[in-house]
């Protein structure tokens, strides 16, 4: 049996803050919404992919936003460095804190939505390296500089290898 990931549903408290963040800052579109059952809590479906009815959904009814949940973070991949920089610009435009972290195999931004659900948006690098790894990187670098920095920073790791040369089973080889 092969399972393909479909979507995530988060319990939320403040519909307006959450929808504003995910639609205006991250560019999702609302695809559907309504009560789960008659007189039940509302569920709101969102997606960026026109082939997916929803990638995320929100159910109103979260009691305490400050309470830690079992969710660590949701992660989204972008295809180009310019898209990753676009995320940075959008987060900067709303004065939203983020942590730029490099794993050797990815350049990432970690941040939280308005209800403290962890998010990551990343781009793959051309390399594979044993995990876990995590070193802050300078998001002001251009793409060439950033990739040169990744290579220089991780090249002495014994497992550092060009992705297409890796024989590991779980390497995204596109």
**For every one of its 174 residues, what pLDDT tens digit does the chain have, with 9 covering 90 and above?**
565 777 898 988 899 999 999 999 999 999 999 988 888 888 999 999 988 889 999 988 777 766 666 677 899 999 999 999 999 999 999 999 999 999 999 999 999 999 888 899 999 999 998 888 899 999 999 999 999 999 999 999 998 999 888 776 665 555
The CATH 3.30.720.110 portion of the chain extends over 74-165
**Would you state the pLDDT for residue 64?**
72
Q: Could you give the angle at which helices 81-93 and 143-154 cross, rounded to 10 degrees?
A: 100
The Cβ of residue 18 has, within 10 Å, a number of other Cβ atoms equal to 22
Give CA–CA dist 12/40, Å, rounded. 14
The phi, psi pair for 46, rounded to 5°, reads -135, 155
Contact 135, 99 (CB under 8 A): no
- Give the residue among 58, 71, 73, 56 at the shortest CA–CA distance from 12: 58
Q: What is the pLDDT of residue 78?
A: 94
Owner of token pair 């300078």 = 138
Q: For position 172, what pLDDT does the model report? A: 59
> Does the global pTM surpass 0.75?
yes
pLDDT of residue 27: 95
Class of 74-165 in CATH: alpha beta
pLDDT at 15: 93
For domain 8-60, the CATH architecture is: Roll (3.10)
Residue ranges, comma separated, of all CATH 3.10.180.10 domains in the chain are 8-60
pLDDT of residue 76: 92
pLDDT of 98 reads: 96
């Amino acid at each position: 049996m092969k399972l393909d990931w479909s979507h995530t549903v988060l319990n939320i408290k403040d519909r307006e803050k959450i929808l504003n963040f995910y639609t205006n800052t991250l560019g999702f579109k609302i695809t559907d919404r309504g009560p789960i059952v008659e007189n039940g809590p509302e569920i709101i479906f969102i997606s960026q992919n026109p082939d997916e009815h929803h990638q995320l959904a929100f159910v109103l009814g979260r009691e305490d936003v400050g309470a830690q949940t079992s969710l660590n973070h949701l992660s989204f991949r972008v295809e180009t460095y310019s898209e990753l920089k676009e995320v940075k610009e959008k987060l900067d435009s709303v004065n939203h804190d983020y942590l730029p972290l490099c794993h050797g195999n990815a350049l990432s931004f970690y941040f939280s939505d308005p209800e403290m659900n962890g998010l990551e948006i990343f781009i793959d690098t051309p390399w594979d390296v044993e995990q876990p790894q995590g070193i802050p990187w300078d998001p002001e670098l251009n793409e060439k500089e950033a990739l040169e920095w990744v290579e220089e920073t991780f090249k002495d790791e014994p497992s550092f290898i060009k992705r297409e040369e890796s024989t590991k089973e779980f390497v995204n080889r596109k």
